[in-house]
Structure 1
Amino acid sequence: MAEIKIEKKKPIWPWILVVLVILGIIAYLVYANQERDDYNDDFDDGVINEQVVEPDTKPLDTRGAYAPGTAYDQYTAFEGSIRDSTRIALDSSYTKKAYYNLCKAVAKKADENNVEDSQALTDLKEFSMLITKVSSPLSSAESAKNFKTASDKVAKVLEDIQIKSYPELQSQVADLKQVTSEMDGYISMDKQQDNITQFLQKSRDVLKAMNN
């Protein structure tokens, strides 16, 4: 009687493991690309390309043309970017744009008044470095921490400008610093909208007083 050889089936789990690993790699690459695209779109389109400047309120140069690059240009851009207070601290693109314009306006005003360089002023001039890590929603504490840092630096530079050139604005800057101190870098921004709105509005008022 002939002996029947029975071949053992090779296990298929190694192939299943390989397929899962490949799927995991593909999913990671897709997610990483999406995160990068979302952040670039949010920051570039929402901040740099959407600055609000009202040409009818900009100062004129000696030839009667609008003078580019002035502190007042930056101020009107900032003022325009906080008109809809309902979007502040809730809309990521809108809030980043407001902070971008604010930082640029404050840095320009510091340069106009020959304020001594400081780390805070340097950071305002390089605003994008302040929020490099802000790719998460404004409902996360990570975003709040970064925007809290930016707010502190704005208040510090505005105080330096005030001390050097605008002694009459001491109380206004003190009010701004008080609001800034009440912002919490460990609480998501959407849960402290009132404080952040007050900060942006009081910053606007201080800059407006400096421009008058």
Structure 2
Amino acid sequence: MAEIKIEKKKPIWPWILVVLVILGIIAYLVYANDDRDDYTDDFDDDITNEQVMDSESRSLESKTLDATGAYMAGTAYDQYTAYEGSIRDSTRIAVDSSYTKKAYYNLSKAVAKKAEEKEIETSQALTDLQEFSMLITKVSSPLSDAESAKNFKTASDKVAKVLEDIQKNSYPELESMVDELKLVASEMDGYISMNKQQDNITQFLQKSRDVLRAMNN
């Protein structure tokens, strides 16, 4: 009598495992691709937001481009933009010494750079603005209010002097603006604490901004 051979069915769980692995790989690839798309979208949004902010508010990160689209670092306009941004909160001027110090620092850089671009003859006032770090050190020290005011008064006089030199050399039409700036500077008192002459200091910084803006237009 012939024997009937019965073949055992092969288990199907290895195939199930293979299918699960394949599905897992496909899911991973789809998820990874979505993540890359999301990152790209976020990155593009950040760039767009920066560009809008740059064009609308002339923020501190503003960049000047030449005719070829290349970035020109350290131009007088760049320095002016940094200064303009550092005096936006007028309530902190002459009250917050660090904020005021930064404003004067940026102002000095902007004025010195404009003098450099216009090839203004070197003067002691211009040299002092170019070496403003010395005044920064003094203002950063634990000085009395009167001593701090004296340093800012000195810086204001030097700024007014150099802006007048630039105006006489290149911008005769701005004479009245510079005269007003000099008048405000003369009314500042180096022996009265800054917070007691906030209006004068604020007015000086804002008028300096207006003069620089006119020189950069």
Please report the TM-score for the alignment, with normalisation by the length of structure 2: 0.70
The structure 2 residue matched to 1:114, chosen from 116, 119, 122, is 119
**Structure with max Cα Rg:** 2
The structure 1 residue matched to 2:188, chosen from 175, 183, 192, is 183
Kept in 2, the 8 Å contact 1:88–1:196? The answer is yes
Write the deviation string for residues 11-65 of structure 1: whole angstroms up to 9, x where unpaired: xxxxxxxxxxxxxxxxxxxxxxxxxxxxxxxxxxxxxxxxx6232xx32123303
Residue 53 (1) aligns with residue 60 (2): yes
Cross-structure match for 1:63: 68
User: What code does the residue aligned with 2:200 have?
Assistant: N
Q: Report deviation, 1:131.
A: 3.5
Q: What are the within-5 Å matches in structure 2 for residues 139-178 of structure 1?
A: 140-178=145-183
Number of matched pairs: 158
Write the deviation string for residues 62-103 of structure 1: whole angstroms up to 9, x where unpaired: 330321010000000000000000000011111111000000
The structure 2 residue matched to 1:197, chosen from 199, 202, 214, is 202
User: What code does the residue aligned with 1:130 have?
Assistant: L
Kept in 1, the 8 Å contact 2:105–2:136? The answer is no
- Indicate the SS of the match to 1:132: helix
Distance in 2, Cα, partners of 1:206 & 1:132: 27
The structure 2 residue matched to 1:102, chosen from 102, 107, 110, is 107
Q: Report deviation, 1:196.
A: 0.2
Write the deviation string for residues 130-184 of structure 1: whole angstroms up to 9, x where unpaired: 24322236x6100000110000000000000000000000000000000000000
The structure 1 residue matched to 2:96, chosen from 91, 108, 112, is 91
Q: Percent identity?
A: 81
Distance in 2, Cα, partners of 1:59 & 1:128: 25
Task: List alignment gaps of at least 5 residues for structure 2.
Answer: 1-58
Kept in 2, the 8 Å contact 1:136–1:142? The answer is no
Distance in 1, Cα, partners of 2:195 & 2:103: 15
Please report the TM-score for the alignment, with normalisation by the length of structure 1: 0.72
Task: List alignment gaps of at least 5 residues for structure 1.
Answer: 1-51
User: What code does the residue aligned with 2:177 have?
Assistant: Q
Taking only aligned residues, the RMSD between alpha carbons, in angstroms, comes to 1.3
Distance in 1, Cα, partners of 2:60 & 2:73: 11
